[in-house]
Amino acid sequence: MKYKTLIAIPVFNEADLRNVIHGVKKFALDILVIDDGSTDGISENLTGLGKIHVIIHQRNLGYGKTILDSFTYAIENGYDYLLTIDSDGQHDPEEISLFLKEIPFYNCDILSGSRYYFPIKAGKEVPQERYIINKEITGIVNRVTGFNLTDAFCGFKAYKVDKLKTMHLTECGYGMPLQLWIQAWKTGLRVREIPVKLVYKDLTRRFKGVLEDPDTRLCYYKEVIEEALANAEQNNVANLRIKRRLRY
């Protein structure tokens, strides 16, 4: 049986986009580019690259929103599997094969890449503050979910599209993966990691705006987790009330 698979690429002013798409096209799968309000002429970057599906945000709505759009597109267009890969050249398109060879998924619903599956040297291979924050937040997610993740933020993932329908994700910022993990846990989805290359082309690259400050970013991530847990608890209470009404 051939499974209908989509590869989604979120992009915001990324110079490496053409190279990433050339690498992805080797796999002869449908490609969706989600342009999050780029100002560098993304349409010109796509010229001559063949048939590519494109979603364009007229303004920057956030990384999480690009991923949520890819979920909606995959569901509405009847795909079986969705792969997401970043457009900044820090995910190697050749490693898409690592995910594709696992299809169909028998022991997971989300197959997540991990850049930290094996020990690394913070400060030499990855910005130290990013590694420290990732490690702390990943630990919190693991204590809540029991998923035993090593990288809570890697955007290189593959999903069973049918399972995406069980979640109601709303976080549009960089904290979206954390809401995803909490909802995946609450809905009983199975998660597995595979190692992918750790590539940081520019160790001096920073977040923009308020998230440039590490403490602010860490607080934001924790707030996303807390809100996701609170919403899950509210849903549990509501479902319990409905069951009681149906029972009596």
Q: What is the 3-state secondary structure (H, E, C) of the chain?
A: CCCCEEEEEEECCCCCHHHHHHHHHCCCCEEEEEEECCCCCHHHHHCCCCCCEEEEECCCCCHHHHHHHHHHHHHHCCCCEEEECCCCCCCCHHHHHHHHCCCCCCCCCEEEEECCCCCCCECCCECHHHHHHHHHHHHHHHHHHCCCCCCCCCCCEEEEHHHHCCCCCCCCCCCHHHHHHHHHHHCCCCEEEEECCCCCCCCCCCCCHHHHCHHHHHHHHHHHHHHHHHHHHHHHHHHHHHHHHHHC
CATH for 111:
3.90.550.10
Domain range for 218 is 5-247
| pLDDT of amino acid 236 | 58
Q: What is the pLDDT along the chain (248 residues), one digit of tens a residue?
A: 789 999 999 999 887 788 899 999 999 999 999 999 998 877 677 777 788 999 999 999 999 999 999 999 999 999 999 999 998 888 999 999 999 999 999 999 999 999 999 988 776 778 889 999 999 999 999 999 999 999 999 999 999 999 999 999 999 999 999 999 999 999 999 999 999 998 876 666 777 788 889 999 999 999 999 999 999 887 654 454 434 443 44
The whole model's pTM is what?
0.90
Domain count, the chain: 1
